[in-house]
Structure 1
Amino acid sequence: MGRLDLTAINVRKTVLQNIASGRISTTPIWTDVVRDVPPAQILIRQQPQKHRLTRVRTRTLPNGRTEQYAQVTEPKKARSTKTQNLFTPRHLRYEEDELRKSFFNDHPWELARPRVVLETSGDQYKNADWSKGVQQPGIALSGESVVQRQLWLLENVPDITVPQAYDVARKEFYALRRSEEIRNRIAAEEARHMGARFGKSAIQVSMGIENDMYNDWDAWARQMVNEQTQRLAAFSGTVMASEEDALRDVNKAEEQRPPAAPIGAGVFAQQQKTDARAQRNDAA
């Protein structure tokens, strides 16, 4: 079977040839449509376009005015020129991805915080004004807030660098986190004062699990050592440490036992008197 040309016009021609030769008995309903309205392009997959990284910055001009400009970075050429990678999708590059990577590398525990995922219209960020700070109404405080705040600073503050914008957004985020933790601690203290009981904390639960695991490991290690010692003692004929401990316990128990009444001189004299009295009775 030869290779077929998959353009729409040639597919119609191929179908017509198959009908004429008798390979196909019925004419497809789309043949007339393709004849009247031919396709605008062929059915060959085009090569994906390269996605350029665009950064928007603000700079100060010599006359004192400021202007925004775009920094466009062309993607690097692919090292692999194999045909199998010719039509693979290109990696999309955005500046926010680099800012997120930098923030979460410095704050990995922010990813462990519980998040509330709700189905919304998706436009909750439409009315956000990141010029007023990290905290926005209707948006929970998270690492994404820091990223958006830093991006706004980079695009609108003249001659600011990435580390400077990161420090500004990061310090605002720290201040809000501190106030949030203080508020939660005060609320918990007030609840305990009114009789609420919260049970064990996360640290106490984790420490209890760690202690249980350590005790299990300690018991298993003692059992393994005891079995290994018994195995070695069976071959060498030596006394095990456990047997020595048992003998030591037996000796200690015998030492603590109260001694029996000894046969002293008084008891021996009494026995002699009894024997003498019996002899006199026999003589009489």
Structure 2
Amino acid sequence: MAVSRGARPLQVYKETGQLLRSGILKKEPPWYRVVASIPPSTILVRTAPVGFEKSGESRSVPKRARKSKRFFQPERIQYTEDELRQTFFADHPWELARPRILVEDSGNDGLGYDWSRLQQSGKALDGESVVQRQLWLMENNKLSKKAAYDVARREFYKLRMRSDIERRIAAEEARAVGAWFGKTHLQVGLELEEKALAAWKVKAEKALEKRQQRIDALAGPGGVSDDADEAVPAAGQDSPLPGAESQNSTETRSVAV
């Protein structure tokens, strides 16, 4: 049975019935009576899904999600903490350079802490602590996002400064009893910088020497000699006139007579 490539499902049933009535098909296909009792839909495009808010109230899908190119893409899942993390780490990018423990018992380990305070026992102070503290202040103290961020950030700065002071005091006490910690990061960085500058100086001297040799080679042995340079009058001196020497000799002879 030849059926056009762009035929609809119901059109296939109609053309098959015509072939049976005309006698071209001698036997009904197994699906013929099933399709007759349950005709297929003529619209194959699915209806747009209905989105739901957290409160349970339905909302209409935005027009952008109804486009064909985005129809089969899943809806983007975004949490409140995502925006808070983005704001904090944009203001404190060096916090991402601190070592972190990524091992977790479950995906909700942060829910096991009491975020009524920022410092938690068994958890290192990091950016995630500020995010969870800010979220707790927004939900429990009914603070705005900016106000909660200022409170959490102020507490974070105090704990960071106290930790740095404790670290410095511990290092001084250790040095007092003979501990040696080696070079600091600044000292190591300065040494590496001095080595790089020394290597650059050697390369620059070699390049300058090669350049001078190239200039001398271009000048060659046929260049202007030093005697010729001495014969040229210096700048600012007047050269004698062509007839000055003969005139002086004539005057000398006349005086002698």
Q: TM-score range by the shorter chain?
A: 0.5 to 0.7
Q: Which structure has greater strand proportion?
A: 1
Change beyond 3 A, Cα 1:214–1:78: farther
Change beyond 3 A, Cα 1:49–1:202: farther
Residue of structure 2 in register with 1:196 after alignment:
179
Q: CA offset at residue 138 of structure 1?
A: 1.6
2:123 aligned to 124, 139, 143, which one? 139
Larger CA deviation: 97-106 vs 226-235:
226-235
Instruction: Calculate percent identity across the aligned residue pairs.
Output: 44
Residue of structure 2 in register with 1:226 after alignment:
209
One-letter code aligned to 2:201: D
Q: Tell me whether 1:162 sits opposite 2:145 in the alignment.
A: yes
Q: CA offset at residue 88 of structure 1?
A: 3.1
Please give the alpha-carbon distance, in whole angstroms, between the structure 2 residues aligned to 1:214 and 1:73.
65
Residue of structure 2 in register with 1:97 after alignment:
82
Q: CA offset at residue 73 of structure 1?
A: 10
Q: CA offset at residue 237 of structure 1?
A: 4.8
Please give the alpha-carbon distance, in whole angstroms, between the structure 1 residues aligned to 2:51 and 2:192.
50
Residue of structure 1 in register with 2:101 after alignment:
116
Gaps of 5+ in 2: 7-43, 222-257
Q: CA offset at residue 105 of structure 1?
A: 1.1
- Asked if 1 retains the 8 angstrom alpha-carbon contact of 2:134 and 2:148, the reply is yes
Question: Number of matched residues?
Answer: 180
Please give the alpha-carbon distance, in whole angstroms, between the structure 1 residues aligned to 2:77 and 2:204.
53
1:127 aligned to 98, 112, 131, which one? 112
Q: CA offset at residue 115 of structure 1?
A: 2.1
2:135 aligned to 138, 142, 151, which one? 151
Return the TM-score normalized by structure 2: 0.58
Change beyond 3 A, Cα 1:227–1:107: same
Return the TM-score normalized by structure 1: 0.53
Residue of structure 2 in register with 1:215 after alignment:
198
Larger CA deviation: 112-121 vs 208-217:
112-121
One-letter code aligned to 2:87: S
Q: CA offset at residue 77 of structure 1?
A: 5.0
Match of 1:205, SS state, is: helix
Q: CA offset at residue 149 of structure 1?
A: 0.6
